[in-house]
Structure 1
Amino acid sequence: MADDPRTPGAATAVPPEAAAIAALRPIEEAIAAQQRTYRSLQATLSVFGRTYDDARKDEQPTLTVLTGAQVISNALEAAVDACREELLTTQPGGGRPEHLLGEALERDVRMLTRGVRQRTIYQHTVRTHPPTLGYIEKVTAAGAEVHTLVEVFERMIICDREVAFIPTSDERSDGALQIRHPALLRFLAVLFDNAWARSVPVEPGGVPARSPLITSDVQRAILQAVVSGETDDSIARRMGMSRRSVAKHISRVSQQLGSGSRAQLGYLLATSGLLWLGQPPRFAPPERGF
């Protein structure tokens, strides 16, 4: 219906299409206005998004979990290749497999030729592992510094104190954590420096594997583990030794102290004060290794 211009107060019928247009047009105009507002706001937020992404494109996450041997290897190689001043590494577990030593040698020599200072801490047990000793001889000739400790806390690599890698589990090849958080990097670097200060240098030409200092450190650590109730397998893993070598140490000490059982040996060691005397324990060296 619409007002009849010829008769005031009267109405006349109009086609439904015309009535629909009149009724729907305001709604369509309101929708169109909302769409224009939506598109304008979307364009503005898009600009903000690009600006935000540009500002953060050079930033990297402070903690990244790396999974898979190839992924870890690629990340390590990239970090070492980017290293410009200092590389710090700790390598627990005794001697390393020859194929890993070959990969590390090429990468490390390439880095050392750039003038990067490399410091590595192994366990004392590498001093009787010919492949690892061969690797150490080559990298030290290229300028690296290598020390050993009776026990190394965990595998770790720190590049320029800007990025570090540590394992995510006891199975070190399963995963690695890449660290870029400044506080964590500072903590790990201090941990390394403290261990370095207590470690024994591997001099050019090598140090006798059974030097008194090295031998007494290993013996003392094994006997302290016995007192703590550790098994031969646990001691071997922690010391980077074979279970057979650990058993030889313990058997030899048991005979010298007249012990008839593992429990009695632990008691005798704990009560004798042997492990806390100023002089290191004096025991005959094992036939092979430590």
Structure 2
Amino acid sequence: MPSDELTPQDIDVYRQLLETSPDAEESARRLGLSHDQVAESVKRLTARRLLRPDGPGRHEALSPAVAAAALTAACHTRVHELVRLIDTTRRELGPLGSAYEAHRRQELDGTTTELFTDGDAVRHRLADLSAQVRRSVLTAHPTLGSPETLRAALDLDRGLLDRGVRYRTVVPHTARRQREALQHVRRLGRLGAQVRTAAVIPGRMILLDDTFAFVSTGSGGAALLRDPVAVGFLSVIFDHIWEHARTVGGGSHDDTVFEDVELEILRHLERGRSDEFMSRRLGISTRTLSRYLAGMCEKLQVDTRFQLGMAAARLGLTGDGREPDTEG
């Protein structure tokens, strides 16, 4: 297929040879062109199969439709070959499309949240996923369960630690003064877990291999998250809690730790929190909270909660703002 385009001069030469005379010299005279100019046009027109020689210096004009058909025959053949290739490719790869779409739907389903309202269902699901863990477990517990719950949890944790899984957990400071809770965290430590305590843990979370995350829900149930962004965000929150938590040592009493608990109580008092709210947030019973309040009143030499809050404010004990006021 010729690459250069026909010029207006070529069109004039074609029409002259078609309508007036097939003689090239005569066409040159009539059009006012030189012999070489006409020869160049004749060359381009012949290449496009619009002219063919008809004796010395003579050229017969041919049908443009026939010329176009002749010039594009190879292109039509190539087009048909490409169409067949497209059809063959689609037939070959088409069945794989359904498999791919099914896999993508499965991946998308894998990022949804799985909700649980039953504690047994949560424990069974956690046990299933724990069997798949290979690298790490991160847990944060604002409260610890009953002795029976702790014993069941220890059996599951022992299996993880025996496989060499890195295990870090944070529990409330108040676990240091609860016999069963303290025994539980010490057992975990002896098995190889890293255990710390914190004054406040905002919510229960269990992260498995940075792939799955169990979090508590407001309804008392739990949610299993698989979305990488959500799990990554929870991992950042855990690291923040971990960095501000205190390592559990051999002793059961740590004045610095319980000063942290007392400061949190003072902050809650300053915000007008109820005993039920403070107990739930600190992971202690209302009776234990009452003992803390009585001891703090004695330390600051006051008689009422109101006086306790005033004394704490006067001494600047509630002004570091460690915990944002996010609940009312």
Instruction: Assess same fold via TM > 0.5.
Output: yes
Distance 1:198 1:79 in 2: 28
CA contact (8 A) 1:223 1:250 kept: no
Aligned to 2:225: 179
Displacement after TM superposition at 1:221 (Å)? 1.1
Distance 2:274 2:224 in 1: 33
Letter of the 2:197 partner, please give it. T
Whole-angstrom distance in 2 between the partners of 1:142 and 1:179 = 28
Q: 1:222 to 1:66 in 2, by over 3 A?
A: same
The equivalent of 1:70 in structure 2 is: 120
What is the Cα-based RMSD across aligned positions, in Å? 2.5
Tell me whether 1:208 sits opposite 2:252 in the alignment.
Answer: yes
Which residues of structure 1 form unaligned runs of 5+? Answer: 1-44, 278-290
Q: Per the alignment, do residues 170 and 264 of structure 1 end up closer, same or farther by CA in structure 2, a change over 3 Å counting?
A: farther
- CA deviation profile, 1:204-250 (whole Å, cap 9, x unmatched): xx2332x1211211111111211111122221111112212222332
- Residue in 2 aligned with 1:224? 267
* Equivalent residue, structure 1, for 2:305: 262
In the alignment, what sits opposite 1:288? none
Residue type of the alignment partner of 1:99: E
Q: 2:236 aligns with which of 185, 190, 204?
A: 190
Is the 1:121–1:146 contact (alpha carbons within 8 Å) kept by the matching residues of 2? yes
Point out the structure with the larger helix share: 2
- Give the structure 2 partner of residue 123 of structure 1: 172
Q: Extract unaligned runs of 5+ from structure 2.
A: 1-93, 321-328
Letter in 2 for 1:64: E
1:237 to 245, 265, 280: 280
Q: Which has the higher contact order (CA 8 A, sep 6+)?
A: 1
Identity of aligned residues (%): 29
Matched with 2:289 is 246
Larger radius of gyration: 2
Secondary structure, counterpart of 2:131 in structure 1: helix
1:158 partner SS = strand
1:147–1:196 Cα contact (<8 Å) kept: yes
The aligned residue for residue 202 of structure 2 is 153
Amino acid at match of 2:256: L
Cα separation, 1, equivalents of 2:164 and 2:287:
42
Residue equivalent to 1:13: none
CA distance in 2, matches of 1:119, 1:79: 17
Does the 8 A contact of 2:138 with 2:207 survive in 1?
Answer: yes
